[in-house]
Amino acid sequence: MPKLLLAIESTCDETAAAVIGRDLTILSSIVSSQSDLHEQYGGVVPEIAARAHVERILPVIESAMSEAGVNLTDLSAIAVATHPGLVGSLLVGVTAAKTLALILDLPLIAIDHVQAHLYACQMSSAKNVFPAVGLVVSGGHTNLYDCRDALEMPLLGSTIDDAAGEAFDKVAAILGLTYPGGPSIQKAADDGNADAFDFPKAFYHQSRLAFSFSGLKTAVLYEVKGQPGAHQQPPEMNSKRLADVAASFEKAVVDVIVRKCEQALKQLGYNSLCVGGGVAANRRLRHDLKSMCTERKTQLVIAPMEYCTDNAAMGAIAWESYDRQLFASLDIDVTPGLVRAQ
């Protein structure tokens, strides 16, 4: 029987499990989304997310095993994302993984959720993608990494406030668009003029590898709602104006991300850029990153669409730890929170 591992993901609002072969073949990948539970709040509510994980974790694991056509006794290891993320959500997945590892007497492997997003690029590539600059851009993270290999990825820089995906969600709420904000803003932006508004681009003209989207979000708010106490208020919002605001906001976010990726490539001297995370599904970001990398003669590897949003298949990175005998003890704890540059 070939070696198999079960990977579990519960860092935020997706309950996921996958059965993965040693050759990185994905035998099954089950994801239970909670978007409908959080839509009315315009963002993820940690307590609701944790409760939903408790209800869904066992059915999701059972579905992953059933779809793969294997039994628990066929597994060689249990892998689980232990950081970063929401503490309540993380605890559900880690508790399930610990229990299985104990009962089955299997090695337990701790996964760095952010590193796993970048490893999804390796999974889709026919050749080794490292070393590379790594970009993880999602609802919780907008980070750049020095990806020296699959497990050594020092942080180069991150957002000092909102992550890009969080900014998309908040701006979508300002515009009255649906949650999650990424897809709805992309759809609205299709009919808009991206140069209609000159929104701020924090750190764009600085060499610092950092991001900030809070000021951009506020600029959009003032453009839509007006500034408190101002004598002149913005025109009434119509479909054309909404599309222009969405397109201009999207362009401001993408311009900064592409700029910082290019700066990181220059600083490190790498000719490979790996991109993962939910916002990596954005069409404009993919297009502009491709244009920049083509101009620089740099290899661009973006995680497949199905592995951009949170999933357990990217837990294939656990095989890297398995080969190096980097196993976790059963008393391992979660590390919540977001990754921030110092």
**For the chain, which residues make up each domain, given as ranges?**
4-113+310-323, 125-302
Q: pLDDT value at position 342?
A: 41
CATH entry 3.30.420.40 includes domain 125-302: yes
**Annotated binding-site residue? 136:** yes
Order the strands of the 26-33 sheet from edge to edge: 26-33, 14-21, 4-9, 77-83, 108-112
For residues 131 and 129, what is the distance between their CA atoms, to the nearest angstrom? 6
What is the C-alpha radius of gyration for the chain, rounded to an integer number of angstroms? 21
**Annotated binding-site residue? 231:** no
Q: pLDDT value at position 337?
A: 72
Candidates 3.30.565.10, 3.40.50.2300, 3.65.10.10, 3.30.420.40; CATH matching 4-113+310-323: 3.30.420.40
**Annotated binding-site residue? 161:** no
**Annotated binding-site residue? 83:** no
**Annotated binding-site residue? 279:** no
**Annotated binding-site residue? 117:** yes
Selection from 214, 215, 213, 235 nearest residue 224 by Cα? 235
pLDDT digits (tens, 9 = 90+) for 67-117: 999 999 999 999 999 999 999 999 999 999 999 999 999 999 999 999 999
pLDDT digits (tens, 9 = 90+) for 245-269: 999 999 999 999 999 999 999 999 9
**Annotated binding-site residue? 184:** no
**Annotated binding-site residue? 282:** yes
Residue 230 has phi, psi (to 5 degrees) of: -75, 145
Question: pTM of the prediction?
Answer: 0.91
Read off the amino acid at residue 111: I
Asked whether the CA dihedral 45, 47, 50, 52 is positive or negative, the reply is negative
Quick check: 296 pLDDT over 80? yes
**Annotated binding-site residue? 226:** no
**Annotated binding-site residue? 38:** no
Q: Band of the pLDDT at 339, cuts 50, 70, 90?
A: low
**Annotated binding-site residue? 169:** yes
Whether 4-113+310-323 and 125-302 share one fold: the answer is yes
